[in-house]
């Protein structure tokens, strides 16, 4: 049976000491199939390096994505914050095109003084500006992937992410299962909860999982408070949720092409463990 989940680390592997442009050699050698470039503290990579990274990924058949800066707030009150947020996403999209990254992950924003509906509305207006800017720069090959966020103060519930993706071309969801779990104060307990999430995605964005689209995901163990996400934990710390095996089984049931980016502190080590658990399902 064809394996349909590709696993990889969020950022450079802990055991990797070389230059980032060659990171996919390392990823391939240890047996993983995905890599997410982290531009979380700013888009700093030069065009030549991004192109090299893309070639190296292609050579090694590694599926690449990019995480845009954290300092993006598309529902911000201030115009200058909105403008800078749009700029950072434009930069991310250009770099993504050079790297051949199939997704540009970002956090949509914060509610601040707005109601969730108002914040979502502001976010959509900012995305319209973003699309106009990209058009004027001639950037054409890109897929933005707004992420389900982990704090209750952040725009980015599963419903909001689905609505954003329904509203624009070039948009697909990023599902951070740990964030959904933390936001919901421990709401993911087993297979049923995962199936509910996947069903909701299929109802809202039908084309995912029918061979046309790939579902981009994150997984980590997570500690949370009433406000949501607090801290990421390694895979072996099972006292923290959400559970992994029921997720892998649910994804296998659906038959969806999926990427799971590992965000635990052990990165590639835990990505390999997740992959092992997935492969065990075929035995």
- 3-state DSSP assignment of residue 136: helix
Closer to Zn ion by Cβ: residue 147 or 229: 147
Closer to Zn ion by Cβ: residue 108 or 241: 108
Report the nearest approach of Zn ion to the CB of residue 66 (Å).
Answer: 11
Report the nearest approach of Zn ion to the CB of residue 25 (Å).
Answer: 26
For residues 180 and 157, give the distance between their C-alpha atoms in angstroms, rounded to a whole number: 7
Closer to Zn ion by Cβ: residue 35 or 52: 35
For residue 133, count CB atoms less than 10 angstroms from its CB and return exposed for 0-12, middle for 13-18, buried for 19 or more: middle
Q: Which tokens hold the place of 21?
A: 């442009």
- 3-state DSSP assignment of residue 201: helix
* Closest to 142 (Cα-Cα) out of 105, 189, 178, 191: 105
Report the nearest approach of Zn ion to the CB of residue 177 (Å).
Answer: 12
Closer to Zn ion by Cβ: residue 56 or 148: 148
Q: For the window 110-149, what string marks contact with Zn ion as x by the rule CB under 5 A?
A: -------------------------------------x--
Report the nearest approach of Zn ion to the CB of residue 64 (Å).
Answer: 16
Closer to Zn ion by Cβ: residue 52 or 88: 88
- State yes or no: residue 36 binds Zn ion (CB under 5 A): no
For residues 260 and 220, give the distance between their C-alpha atoms in angstroms, rounded to a whole number: 10
Residue 22 is classified by DSSP as G
Q: Quick one: residue 75, left, alpha or beta (phi over 0 = left, psi -120 to 50 = alpha)?
A: alpha
H-state helical runs in 22-115: 23-30, 47-59, 79-99
Q: For the window 145-164, what string marks contact with Zn ion as x by the rule CB under 5 A?
A: --x-----------------
Residue 217: beta bridge partners?
Answer: 175, 260
Closer to Zn ion by Cβ: residue 60 or 176: 176
Q: For the window 181-220, what string marks contact with Zn ion as x by the rule CB under 5 A?
A: ----------------------------------------
Report the nearest approach of Zn ion to the CB of residue 59 (Å).
Answer: 27
Please give the residue ranges that form the binding site for Zn ion (CB under 5 A). Answer: 147
């Amino acid at each position: 049976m064809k394996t349909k989940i590709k696993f990889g680390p969020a950022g450079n592997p802990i055991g990797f000491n070389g230059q980032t442009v060659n990171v996919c050699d390392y990823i391939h050698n240890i047996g993983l199939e995905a890599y997410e470039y982290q531009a979380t503290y700013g888009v700093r990579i030069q065009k030549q390096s991004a192109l090299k990274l893309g070639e190296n990924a292609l050579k090694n058949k590694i599926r690449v994505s990019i995480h845009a800066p954290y300092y993006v707030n598309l529902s911000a009150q201030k115009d200058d914050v909105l403008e800078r947020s749009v700029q950072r996403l434009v930069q991310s999209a250009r770099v993504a095109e050079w790297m051949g990254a199939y997704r540009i992950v970002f956090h949509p924003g914060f509610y601040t003084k707005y109601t969730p509906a108002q914040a979502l509305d502001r976010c959509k207006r900012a995305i319209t500006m973003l699309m106009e800017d990209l058009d004027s720069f001639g950037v054409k090959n890109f897929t933005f992937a707004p992420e389900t966020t982990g704090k209750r103060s952040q725009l980015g519930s599963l419903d909001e992410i689905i609505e954003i993706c329904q509203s624009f071309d070039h948009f697909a969801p990023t599902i951070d299962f740990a964030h959904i779990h933390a936001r919901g104060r421990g709401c993911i307990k087993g297979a049923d909860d995962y199936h509910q999430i996947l069903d909701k995605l299929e109802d809202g964005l039908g084309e995912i999982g029918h061979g046309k689209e790939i579902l981009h995901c994150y997984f980590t163990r997570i500690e949370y408070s009433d406000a949501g996400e607090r801290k990421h934990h390694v895979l072996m710390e099972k006292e923290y949720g959400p559970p992994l095996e029921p997720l892998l089984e649910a994804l296998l049931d659906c038959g969806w092409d999926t990427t799971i980016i590992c965000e635990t502190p052990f990165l590639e080590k835990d990505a390999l463990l997740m992959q092992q658990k997935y492969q065990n399902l075929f035995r």
